[in-house]
C-alpha cells in the first residue's frame, strides 16, 4: 500500500476517530453549552471527512467538503466564544451561517470554476468555493487573533495558560487543515494527523479545567533541544578535528584508529560532567533555580519568630516569599471561625489591597477545601473547577477583587488560623509544584508565630480597652468631684445669697425703728429706706421662687399652660426689664429672623423666664461694649413633618471652657469660686445661685425641645436650642 492509497482512505479513519470522540462527549454526565457546540463541531468534522472520500468530485454541488469544513470552523468559533466568554456569540452564529448560505446558493448556480486549479481535492475555484474558503480562513484567523489578545490581557497565569492552550491547539488544527489543501499525499497525511491532535487538545480543554502548563512544556522542549545541541556540538568538533589531523599527518590506519579511539574515550570521560554543567546552566536560564529548602525554612523561621505584631508578620512572610518567588502581590489573611462560618481578614503586605474582611457562608467550598485539605488552592480552580460551582457570587467577587493566584492554608492541628495569599509572579509563569510545596512548608512554619501574634494583638486590644476605661473613669471621677463640690458650695452660696438681702431687710428695719423712736424720720428718708427694703425682699423672693422652680422640676417635672403666641413677643418681654442695663453697659443687642416665624404653642410665662435667664447670663458674662445676638429660624426636619424652631443666643463674652459645657446645666453649678460672687443680676460677672440655666433647660425640655452650649465663633459662648414647631405640638382641642 503506497502513500496515495493510505491517503485516500485516511479520511474514513479520521471520521471513525472523530465519531469515537463524539460518543465520549455525548456520554458525559454534565454537558455544558461549550461541550454541546464542540460536539456540533465534531459532527461537522465527521461529515467533512466523509465528503472528502465520497463526494469530493461530485458534479452537482461542487465544493461540499470545503463547505463542511467552513461549517466546522464556524461551530469551533462559537465553542471558542463560549470558552473564552466573548460577548455577542449570537452575532458569530448569524454572520457565519448567512455567509455559508450565500456560498451554498452561489454554488447552486450553473457556474463553472473561475480558473483551473490543479491538485486540490478540497477546493474547486467556483465563486461559492472561494467564498467558503474565505469563511474558513477568516474565521480561523479571527479565533486565533482574538483568543491571543485575550491571553495577553489575562494577568493570572493559570487563567492565561487556559487561553494559550486553546490558541496552540486551534493553531495546530488550522495548520493541519491548511496542509489538506495541497494534493500531496504525505502532506495530507501530516495534515490529518495534526488536525486530529489539535481536536484532541481542544476536547481536553472543553471537558476538563486541568490543563498542562503550555509555557513550561515549551520551555522544557526548548531546554532539551538546547542541551542536546550544546553537548553534541563539542564532541562533533573534536571528532572532526581528530579525523582531519590524522588525515593530514598521514598516519597509518592503525595509529589513526588508536588516536580516534583515545579521543572518543576521553570524550566519554568528559561528556558527563560537561553535560551536567550545560544542563544546569540551561535549566537555570530557562526554568529558574532550584531551592535550598532547608536553608530557606531555617532563615524564615528565625525571621518570623522575632515578630509579634500581625502587620509586621504579614510583611515578613510575604517579603520572604516574594524575594524567593518574585511575587508581585501578597497578604497574610487571618481566619477566624464562628458557628461554622469563617471570617477572613487580609493584612496587606505587598500590592494595593483593602483590609476589608469577608464572611464566608458555612459550608462554602472555598473554606471547606482550605480548612480540610492541607494544600494550596489555586484561584484558577475556584473559577473553573465544578467543585466550586456552588459558591456564592459575593464570595467570588471578593476573591476576584483580591486578585490572588493561590491561597495557602495555615493550620494548627484542629483549625484553620490563616491563609497566605500570593498574587502572580513577576515572570507571569504559574507557580511550579515545588514552589507551592515550599510555600506550604513555610505556611506550616508560620502557625506558631501567627498564634503568638494574634494573642499579642488581642492583648494589645485589651490593654487599649482598659486604658480607655481608665480615661473614662477618670473623667467621671472629675465630674463627680466637681458636682460634689457644687453640693458643698450650695450651702455657702445659698446661705450667702439668702443672708445678704435678709441682712439688708433687717438692717434697714432696725434703722427705721431707731429713727422712728427718735422721731427723726422725715418722709423722704422713710421712702428711701423702704425702697431698699423692697429691693432686698424682691431679690429674696426671686431667689426663693427660683429654688422652688428647681425643686418642682425635680419632684414632678414642669407643669405648663399652653397658648398660641409668637417668639418675638416672648423675647421682647424677656429683654424689657434688662433694657436699662443693656443701655448702661453699652451692649449691642441684635435680633435676627424673629418676625418671619410662625406662631407657636407654648407656655408663655415659662419661656419668658427661660429667655430671661439665658439673655441675663449673656449680659452678665459679656464685658461692656460687647455684642449679644439672638437669631431664630424655622428648620425643616428630616421626616418633613415636625418642623422646629432653632434659636441661637450668642455673645462676645468670656466664654465657657468645653469641660463645663455639660455641667453648667446642673442645679447650683457655677464656674469659679463661690465666695467671689456678687448678687447683681446684670453687672458684668455678677454671679447668681447657679439655677438659671437649670431652670431654662427644664422649661425647654418640658416643651419637647433641647438646649446645649457651644463656643461662639465670635469668641464668647453660644446657647442653642430647638423648640418643636406648632403642627405636631399643638393639641387641637385646646383654645388660645
> Which residues lie near ligand ADP (CB under 6 A)?
613, 617-618, 621, 651, 653-656, 664, 669-671, 687-694, 717
Question: What span, in angstroms and rounded, lies between the C-alpha atoms of 146 and 167?
Answer: 9
Residue tagged 424720720 (cell numbers): 521
CA-nearest of 626, 616, 622 to 681 is: 616
Q: In whole angstroms, how close is the CB of 416 to ligand ADP at the nearest point?
A: 59
Strand partners, 342: 337, 360
Nearer to ligand ADP, 147 or 717 (CB): 717
Q: Let me know: does 270 contact 234? Beta carbons within 8 Å.
A: no
Pair 628, 619: CB distance under 8 Å: yes
Q: Is 175 in contact with 140 (CB distance < 8 Å)?
A: no
**With respect to ligand ADP, which residue has the nearer C-beta, 653 or 705?**
653
* Residue with smaller CB distance to ligand ADP, 230 or 671: 671
- Distance between CA atoms of residues 212 and 234, nearest Å: 34
Report the nearest approach of ligand ADP to the CB of residue 704 (Å): 22
**Residue (128 or 687) nearer to ligand ADP, CB:** 687
Give me the least distance between CB of 691 and ligand ADP, in Å please.
6
Q: Are strands 341-350 and 358-360 parallel, antiparallel or unpaired?
A: antiparallel
Burial class of residue 475, CB neighbours in 10 A (0-12, 13-18, 19+): exposed
* Residue 668: CB minimum distance to ligand ADP, A: 8
Nearest approach, Cβ of 667 to ligand ADP (angstroms)? 8
Q: How far apart are CA 330 and CA 184, in angstroms?
A: 56
Nearer to ligand ADP, 164 or 656 (CB): 656
Q: How far is the CB of 602 from ligand ADP (least distance, A)?
A: 21
Closest CA relative to residue 447, chosen from 305, 296, 293, 294: 305
Query: Considering beta carbons, is residue 411 or 694 the nearer one to ligand ADP?
Result: 694
In this structure, are residues 170 and 129 in contact, taking their beta carbons and an 8 Å threshold?
no
- Secondary structure (DSSP) of 116-145: --TT-SS---SHHHHHHHHHHHHHHHHHHH
**Long-range contacts of 394-401, Cβ-Cβ distance < 8 Å, separation of 24 or more:** 395/358, 395/360, 395/361, 395/364, 395/366, 398/358, 399/366, 401/354
Judged by DSSP in three states, 483 sits in helix
Q: Which is nearer to ligand ADP, 236 or 538 (CB)?
A: 538
The residue (of 362 and 715) whose beta carbon lies closer to ligand ADP is: 715
Bridge partners, residue 709, by sequence: 719
- Whole-number minimum distance, CB 557 to ligand ADP, in Å? 19
Least distance (Å) between residue 587 CB and ligand ADP: 12
Q: Report the residue number, 79 or 613, with the smaller CB distance to ligand ADP.
A: 613
Q: How far is the CB of 491 from ligand ADP (least distance, A)?
A: 16
Which cell numbers hold the place of 378?
489555586
Going across the sheet that includes 717-724, the strands are 588-592, 627-635, 644-651, 717-724, 706-711
Give 417 or 717: the residue with its C-beta nearer to ligand ADP. Answer: 717
The smaller minimum CB distance to ligand ADP, of residues 71 and 617, is found at 617
Name the minimum Å distance from CB 497 to ligand ADP: 10
Residue 29 dihedral angles phi and psi, to the nearest 5°: -70, -40
- Residue 336's region, left for phi above 0, alpha for psi from -120 to 50, else beta, is beta
Q: How many residues does the chain have?
A: 736
Question: Between 315 and 615, whose beta carbon lies closer to ligand ADP?
Answer: 615
> Which CB sits closer to ligand ADP, 204 or 683?
683
Distant-in-sequence, close-in-space partners of 733: CB < 8 Å, separation ≥ 6: none
DSSP 675: G
Q: Minimal distance in Å, beta carbon 675 to ligand ADP?
A: 13
State which residue has the least CB distance to ligand ADP.
Answer: 688
Tell me the three cell numbers of residue 239.
571528532
Smallest distance, Å, CB 621 to ligand ADP?
3
Q: Grid cell 424677656 — which residue?
A: 574
What is the rounded distance in angstroms from the CA atom of residue 666 to the CA atom of residue 485? 12
Pairing mode, strands 717-724 and 600-602: unpaired
Cell (9 digits) for 177 = 487543515
Q: State which residue, 376 or 616, has the beta carbon closest to ligand ADP.
A: 616
Q: In angstroms, give the least distance from the CB of 492 to ligand ADP.
A: 13
How far apart are CB 505 and ligand ADP at their closest, in Å? 21
Q: How far apart are CA 497 and CA 605, in angstroms?
A: 25
The nearer residue to ligand ADP, 279 or 710, going by C-beta atoms, is 710
Taking the least distance from each CB to ligand ADP, the nearer of 128 and 692 is: 692
Q: How far is the CB of 574 from ligand ADP (least distance, A)?
A: 14
Distances (CA, A) of 310 to 314, 331, 345, 454, 460: 6, 11, 11, 7, 11
Helix (H, G, I), strand (E, B) or coil at 422: strand
By beta-carbon proximity to ligand ADP, the closer residue of 11 and 626 is 626
We find the least distance from the C-beta atom of residue 652 to ligand ADP, in angstroms, to be 10
Closest CA to 646 of 627, 630, 629: 630
CB-based burial label for 79 (10 Å; 0-12, 13-18, 19+): buried
- Strand-pairing partners, residue 635, are 644
Among 376, 370, 383, 338, which Cα is nearest to 357's? Answer: 338
| Closest CB 605 distance from ligand ADP, rounded Å | 18
**Cβ atoms 618, 581 nearer than 8 A:** no
Amino acid at each position: 500500500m503506497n502513500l496515495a492509497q493510505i491517503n485516500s482512505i485516511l479520511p474514513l479513519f479520521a471520521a471513525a476517530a472523530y465519531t469515537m470522540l463524539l460518543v465520549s462527549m455525548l456520554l458525559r454526565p454534565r454537558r455544558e453549552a461549550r461541550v454541546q457546540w464542540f460536539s456540533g463541531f465534531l459532527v461537522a468534522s465527521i461529515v467533512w471527512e466523509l465528503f472528502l472520500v465520497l463526494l469530493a468530485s461530485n458534479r452537482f454541488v461542487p465544493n461540499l467538503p470545503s463547505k463542511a469544513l467552513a461549517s466546522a470552523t464556524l461551530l469551533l468559533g462559537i465553542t471558542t466564544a463560549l470558552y473564552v466568554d466573548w460577548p455577542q456569540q449570537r452575532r458569530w452564529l448569524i454572520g457565519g451561517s448567512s455567509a455559508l448560505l450565500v456560498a451554498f446558493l452561489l454554488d447552486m448556480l450553473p457556474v463553472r470554476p473561475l480558473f483551473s486549479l490543479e491538485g486540490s481535492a478540497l477546493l474547486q475555484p467556483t465563486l461559492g468555493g472561494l467564498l467558503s474558503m474565505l469563511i474558513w480562513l477568516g474565521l480561523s484567523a479571527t479565533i486565533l487573533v482574538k483568543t491571543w489578545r485575550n491571553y495577553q490581557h489575562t494577568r493570572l497565569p493559570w487563567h492565561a495558560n487556559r487561553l494559550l492552550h486553546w490558541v496552540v491547539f486551534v493553531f495546530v488544527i488550522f495548520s493541519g487543515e491548511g496542509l489538506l489543501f495541497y494534493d500531496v499525499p504525505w502532506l495530507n497525511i501530516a495534515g490529518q494527523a495534526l488536525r486530529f491532535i489539535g481536536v484532541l487538545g481542544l476536547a481536553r480543554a472543553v471537558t476538563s479545567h486541568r490543563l498542562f502548563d503550555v509555557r513550561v512544556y515549551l520551555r522544557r522542549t526548548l531546554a532539551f533541544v538546547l542541551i542536546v545541541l550544546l553537548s553534541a556540538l563539542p564532541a562533533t568538533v573534536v571528532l572532526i578535528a581528530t579525523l582531519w589531523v590524522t588525515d593530514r599527518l598521514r598516519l597509518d590506519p592503525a595509529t589513526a584508529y588508536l588516536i580516534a579511539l583515545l579521543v572518543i574515550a576521553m570524550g566519554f570521560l568528559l561528556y558527563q560532567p560537561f553535560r551536567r554543567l550545560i544542563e544546569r546552566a540551561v535549566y537555570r536560564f530557562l526554568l529558574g533555580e532550584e531551592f535550598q529548602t532547608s536553608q530557606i525554612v531555617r532563615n524564615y523561621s528565625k525571621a518570623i519568630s522575632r515578630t509579634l505584631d500581625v502587620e509586621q508578620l504579614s510583611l515578613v512572610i510575604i517579603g520572604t516569599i516574594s524575594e524567593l518567588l518574585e511575587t508581585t502581590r501578597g497578604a497574610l489573611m487571618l481566619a477566624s471561625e464562628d458557628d461554622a462560618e469563617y471570617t477572613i481578614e487580609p493584612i496587606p503586605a505587598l500590592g494595593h489591597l483593602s483590609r476589608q474582611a469577608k464572611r464566608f457562608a458555612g459550608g462554602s467550598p472555598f473554606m471547606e477545601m482550605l480548612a480540610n485539605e492541607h494544600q494550596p488552592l489555586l484561584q484558577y480552580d475556584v473559577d473553573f473547577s465544578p467543585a466550586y460551582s456552588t459558591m456564592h457570587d459575593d464570595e467570588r467577587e471578593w476573591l476576584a477583587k483580591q486578585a490572588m493566584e493561590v491561597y495557602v492554608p495555615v493550620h494548627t492541628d484542629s483549625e484553620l488560623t490563616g491563609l497566605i495569599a500570593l498574587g502572580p509572579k513577576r515572570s507571569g509563569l504559574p507557580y511550579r509544584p515545588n514552589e507551592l510545596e515550599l510555600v506550604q512548608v513555610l505556611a506550616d512554619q508560620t502557625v506558631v508565630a501567627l498564634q503568638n501574634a494574634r494573642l499579642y494583638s488581642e492583648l494589645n486590644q485589651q490593654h487599649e480597652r482598659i486604658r480607655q476605661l481608665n480615661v473614662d473613669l477618670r473623667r467621671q471621677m472629675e465630674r463627680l468631684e466637681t458636682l460634689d463640690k457644687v453640693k458643698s458650695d450650695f450651702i455657702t452660696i445659698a446661705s450667702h445669697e439668702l443672708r445678704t438681702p435678709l441682712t439688708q431687710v433687717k438692717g434697714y428695719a432696725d434703722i427705721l425703728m431707731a429713727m422712728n423712736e427718735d422721731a427723726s424720720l422725715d418722709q423722704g428718708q422713710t421712702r428711701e429706706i423702704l425702697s431698699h427694703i423692697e429691693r432686698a425682699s424682691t431679690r429674696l423672693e426671686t431667689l426663693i421662687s427660683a429654688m422652688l422652680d428647681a425643686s418642682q422640676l425635680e419632684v414632678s417635672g414642669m407643669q405648663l399652660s399652653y397658648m398660641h403666641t409668637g417668639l418675638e413677643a416672648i423675647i421682647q418681654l424677656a429683654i424689657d426689664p434688662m433694657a436699662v442695663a443693656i443701655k448702661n453697659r453699652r451692649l449691642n443687642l441684635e435680633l435676627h429672623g424673629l418676625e418671619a416665624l410662625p406662631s407657636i404653642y407654648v407656655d408663655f410665662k415659662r419661656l419668658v423666664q427661660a429667655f430671661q435667664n439665658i439673655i441675663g447670663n449673656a449680659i452678665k458674662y459679656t464685658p461692656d461694649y460687647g455684642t449679644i445676638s439672638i437669631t431664630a429660624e424655622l428648620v425643616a426636619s428630616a421626616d418633613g413633618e415636625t418642623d422646629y424652631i432653632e434659636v441661637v443666643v450668642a455673645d462676645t463674652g468670656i466664654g465657657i471652657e468645653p469641660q463645663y459645657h455639660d455641667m453648667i446645666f446642673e442645679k447650683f453649678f457655677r464656674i469659679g469660686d463661690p465666695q467671689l460672687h456678687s448678687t447683681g443680676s446684670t453687672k458684668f460677672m455678677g454671679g447668681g445661685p447657679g439655677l438659671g440655666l437649670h431652670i431654662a433647660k427644664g422649661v425647654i425640655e418640658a416643651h419637647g425641645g433641647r438646649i446645649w452650649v457651644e463656643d461662639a465663633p465670635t469668641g464668647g459662648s453660644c446657647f442653642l436650642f430647638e423648640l418643636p414647631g406648632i403642627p405636631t405640638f399643638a393639641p387641637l382641642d385646646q383654645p388660645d
